[in-house]
Structure formats: structure tokens, C-alpha cells
Amino acid sequence: MTAYVEASLCPAAKKELAQAHGEAGDVNVRAVCLPNPREGGKLNLAIIGANARRATEDSTAVVFIGAIDPRASGFADPILETAEIPTIYTDSGSAAMDRTLAILRSAGSGSLRGELQDRLARPNGDPPLGD
């Protein structure tokens, strides 16, 4: 399975994933680092759209992890929602990957995307998203 991670969050997300040996239970997980959607302090909508579309074109994508920015998420979310790819917007790539792995470890045999989507929509009982 693949987690698509925004550039600024990717080093910490990959470190967390490496500590888990790239696994969540019986599931192998990899992180794909996406280009930075900020150029000179400004958002580049073309990069945001390309990042979101890249995730939607991958049948192994289970989550999109992006930096907290309402303008960026407002543009990316409609693209990601069409493919039912759940999102985590955070300031901690490590915490987002940890949460993703915890949900995948406890997921049933059904759709991993669906399980992530459900658990992220109702965070009660899920591992906290923080440092």
C-alpha cells in the first residue's frame, strides 16, 4: 500500500515508516514523497493538483498526507474524494504515518482505503495525531 506525503512532511513520515520496517501487520507500506506545492511562500495550484492526481492514479494509494493549509486542501480534496482517498492534514509527518500504520494494523480484510476513511472521519478511539 502507498501513502502519498507532501515534501515538507515526508522525511519524518519515512523515518516513522522505517521504524515500523515498512509494515503494518501483514501489509507492506511505502511512502511516496510529493513535490513541494509552495514556491517562494506561495501555493502553486498546478503542483497541488498534480500531487492529488498522482495519488488518484495509483490503485495502491491508501492515504494522502499533507501540510495544514486550508487553501491547499480546498483544492486537493475534491480530486482525492473522487478516488475515495482519505486525507490527513497535519504539521507532523511522523504522527500522521504512525496513525496510518496503527489503523492499517487493526483493519479487517475489507477495503483498507475504506477503513482509513471511516477511522479518520471518527477519530475517537484511534491513536492521537500529535508528536
- Amino acid sitting at position 78: P
What's residue 130's pLDDT?
45
Q: Model pTM? A: 0.86
C-alpha grid cell, residue 12: 519524518
pLDDT tens per residue across span 50-69? 999 999 999 999 999 999 88
117: Cα separation from own chain's centroid: 11
Neighbours of 12 (CB within 10 A): 18
Which contacts of 13-17 are long-range, i.e. CB under 8 A and separated by 24 or more positions? 13/65, 13/93, 13/94, 13/96, 13/97, 14/93, 14/97, 15/94, 16/93, 16/94, 16/97, 16/98, 16/101, 17/97, 17/101
pLDDT 10s digits, 73-105? 888 999 999 999 999 999 999 999 999 998 888
For 33-53, what is each residue's pLDDT tens digit? 999 999 888 999 999 999 999
What is the model's pLDDT at position 124? 52
